[in-house]
Structure 1
Amino acid sequence: MIVRPRPHWLKLLFVRRGSILNRIFPQLLFTTGLAAVVVLAHGQLFHWKVTLTSAPFSLMGVALAIFLGFRNNASYDRYWEARKLWGRLLVEARTVSRQALTMTRRRTDARPFVLGVIAFAHALRNQLRGQSSAQGLDGLLPTTLLARIGQARFPCALILLWLAEWLRERRDAGELDVVLQQRMDVHVSGLSEVLGGCERIAGTPLPFTYSVILHRTVYLYCMMLPFGLVDAIGMMTPVVVLFVSYTFFALEALSDEIEEPFGLAPNDLALDAMAAGIEASLREMLGEKPLPAPVATDYILT
C-alpha cells in the first residue's frame, strides 16, 4: 500500500515513487516512439497512406473509457470489500480477546487464547499471500498445533478449531459460564466469516476475458491513434498520444493491481502492517509492550 503525504499540486505532477509510472513506462515509450515515426513518415505505412481520421477514435474512446470504468469499479469493489473484512477482523479480535480476559474466572490464564487470536491474523495473511503457514507464528501457539499447521492446507481453520476447543475446556472446567461461552463463540464464528470472505475474493478473480479484451483494445487503440491524428495536429501527435496512452495504460495497470488486493503490489492492502496492528492492540490488552510498527520503504507499506 502506498503511504505518503500529499505533496503540493505542482510536485504531484512529477511524482514517480509511489505511482504506477514505472510499471507502464515501457509501453509509454513504445507508443510515443511509434507516434514520432508516424509523424516523420507522414502517416504512411510501407509507402501506403493510412487514411484515418479522429472520428472513429472519438467513438472508440468513449466505449473504451466506459469499459475501463467498469473494470476499475469491479476491481475496487474487491479491494474495498477486502479492506472491510480486515477491519472486521480487528473488531472481532479485540472483542473476543476482551471477553476472554474479563469474563473468565480470575484464576484462568486467557493469554494463550489471545495469542491464538493474534496467530489467526498472521496465518490469514500467510494463507492469502501463499506464504509459509508457520511464518510469524513462533511463540503464539502450542507446539503440537504448530506442527499440524505446518502441514495443513487451511491453517486458519485449525486455529479457529483450537480457539473453540479452548472455550469448551474453560466451560467444562467451570471457568466460563455456558451463556458467556456461547457469546464468545459468536465472535469466533465472526473470525470464520472473515476467513470465508477473504477466501472468496482470493479464489474468484474477475473473468479472464475482461482482461484480455481490455488489454488488446487499449493497445490497438493507442497504436492506431497516431495515424488518426497526424494529418490534423502534425508535430503535436506524439504529445497527445503520450497523454492518452498514459491515461489508458495507467487505468488498466491500476485495475490489474487492486483486482488481487492481498498481493505484494504497491497498491495492494498492507496485510503485514494490519496484522502487526492487530498484534500490537491485543498485546497491549495483555499488558505487554507491543512490537514497533512497520515502517514504509520507499513509500510502500506491506
Structure 2
Amino acid sequence: MIVRPRLHWLRMLFVWRGSVVPRILWRLGFFLALSCLVVAMGPPSFRLEPGPLGLVGVALAIFLGFRNSTAYDRFWEGRKLWGSLVIVSRSFTRQALTLPTPALTRDERRGVCDRLSALALTLNHQLRQTQADVTTLSSGVREHVLRAEHRPARVLMGLAEWLSEQRRQGRLSDLLVTSLDENLNRLSEVLGGCERIAATPIPYVYSVMLHRTVYLYSLLLPFALAGGLGWATPLVSVFISYTFIALDTVTAELEDPFGTEPNDLPLDALTRHVERAVLELAGEPLPPALQPDERFVLT
C-alpha cells in the first residue's frame, strides 16, 4: 500500500512515486508516437468519425467504472477481514489472559500470543503463496505450523486445543469457554473470507474483454481526432489513453488485494500489527512497527 502525506494540488499533478505512470509509460509513448505519425501523414484514406468512437468511449468508461467498483469492493472487504482479525485477536487475548483461574503463567501467556501471531503470519503467507519465517515462534507452536499443509487452520485448531485443555483443568467454566469459542468461530470466518477472495478472482474473460477494448479504442482514437484537432491530437489522444489505461492497470492491482503490488494491502504491516497488539496486552516487549520504504510503499 502506498502511504505518503497529502501533497499540494499542484505537486499532485506531477507526482511520480506512487502513481501507475512508470508502469504504463512505454505504452503511452507508443500511442504518442502513433498520434504524431497519423497527423504527419495527413488525412487517412478512410474517414473515422469521432461521434461513434465517442459513444464507445462513454460505454467503455461505464464498464471500467463498474470493474473498478468490483475490484475495490474486493480490496475493501479484504481490509475489513484483516481489521476483524486484529479486533478478535485482541478480544481473545484479553479473555485468555484474565479469565482462567488460577491465572496463566508467563510462559502460558506467551504461548497464547504466539498462537495468535502465528495465525496472522501463516494467513499472510498462504494468501501471498510465500514461505513464512516461523523462527520467532515458540518451539511448540512452530512444530504444529511446520507439520501442517493448511497452516492457518492448524494454528486455529491449536487455539481450540488450548481452550479445551483449560476446560479440562477446571480453569474455565462452560460459560467462559463458550465466550472464547465464539471468538474462534469469528477467526474461522476471517480465514474463510480471505480464502474466498484469494480463490475467486474477477472472471478472466471479463478482464480480457475490457483490456482489449481499452487498447483498441486507444489505437483508433488518433484517426478520429486528427482531422479536427491537427497537432493537438497527440496531446488529447495520450491524455484520454492515459485515463483508460491507468484505470485498467489500477483495477488489475486491486482485484487481488493480497498481492505484492504497490497498491495492494500491506499484509506484512498488518501481521506485525496483530503481533504487537497481543504482545502489548501480555506485557511483553514489542517488535518495531513496519514503516513505508523510500518509495512510500508499505508491504
CA contact (8 A) 1:124 1:156 kept: yes
CA deviation vs aligned residue, 1:251-299 (integer Å, no higher than 9, x gap): 0000000000000000000000111111111111111221111121110
CA deviation vs aligned residue, 1:100-145 (integer Å, no higher than 9, x gap): 011012342332112201110111101100011xx243242444x5
Q: Distance in 1 between matches of 2:181 and 2:135?
A: 25
Corresponding residue number in structure 2 for 1:186: 182
Matches within 5 A, 1:6-17: 6-17=6-17
What is the Cα deviation at residue 151 of structure 1? 4.5
**Are residue 98 (structure 1) and residue 94 (structure 2) matched?**
yes
What is the Cα deviation at residue 149 of structure 1? 2.6
Corresponding residue number in structure 1 for 2:116: 117
What SS does the corresponding residue of 2:56 show, helix, strand or coil?
A: helix
The letter for the 2-side match of 1:257 is E
User: Please, which moves more after superposition, 122-131 or 35-44?
Assistant: 35-44
CA contact (8 A) 1:119 1:141 kept: no
**Are residue 216 (structure 1) and residue 236 (structure 2) matched?**
no
Equivalent in 132, 135, 139 of residue 138 of structure 1: 135
Q: Distance in 1 between matches of 2:285 and 2:279?
A: 7
Q: Distance in 2 between matches of 1:61 and 1:162?
A: 55
| TM-score normalised per structure 1 | 0.95
**Are residue 300 (structure 1) and residue 297 (structure 2) matched?**
yes
Q: 1:77 to 1:62 in 2, by over 3 A?
A: same
CA deviation vs aligned residue, 1:190-229 (integer Å, no higher than 9, x gap): 1110000000000000000111100110000001000000
The letter for the 1-side match of 2:163 is L
Q: Distance in 1 between matches of 2:103 and 2:144?
A: 29
Corresponding residue number in structure 1 for 2:70: 74
CA contact (8 A) 2:28 2:241 kept: yes
4+ aligned runs moved over 4 Å, structure 1: none
The letter for the 2-side match of 1:125 is N
The letter for the 1-side match of 2:116 is V
| TM-score normalised per structure 2 | 0.96
Structure 1 gaps, min length 5: none
Q: Distance in 2 between matches of 1:157 and 1:32?
A: 52
Q: Distance in 1 between matches of 2:103 and 2:251?
A: 52
What is the Cα deviation at residue 27 of structure 1? 1.0
What is the Cα deviation at residue 50 of structure 1? 2.4
- Identical positions, percent: 46
What is the Cα deviation at residue 17 of structure 1? 0.3
The letter for the 1-side match of 2:96 is A
Corresponding residue number in structure 1 for 2:151: 155
CA contact (8 A) 1:118 1:279 kept: yes
What is the Cα deviation at residue 147 of structure 1? 3.6
> How many residue pairs are counted as aligned between the two chains?
295
CA contact (8 A) 1:108 1:175 kept: no
Q: Distance in 1 between matches of 2:37 and 2:52?
A: 21
Structure 2 gaps, min length 5: none
Q: 1:99 to 1:79 in 2, by over 3 A?
A: same
CA contact (8 A) 2:113 2:275 kept: no
Corresponding residue number in structure 1 for 2:200: 204
Corresponding residue number in structure 2 for 1:23: 23
The letter for the 2-side match of 1:15 is V
User: Please, which moves more after superposition, 172-181 or 64-73?
Assistant: 172-181
Matches within 5 A, 1:268-287: 268-287=264-283
CA contact (8 A) 2:279 2:286 kept: yes
What is the Cα deviation at residue 148 of structure 1? 4.5
**Are residue 267 (structure 1) and residue 263 (structure 2) matched?**
yes
What is the Cα deviation at residue 182 of structure 1? 1.3
User: Please, which moves more after superposition, 112-121 or 256-265?
Assistant: 112-121
Corresponding residue number in structure 2 for 1:173: 169
CA contact (8 A) 2:120 2:274 kept: yes
Q: Distance in 2 between matches of 1:183 and 1:8?
A: 49
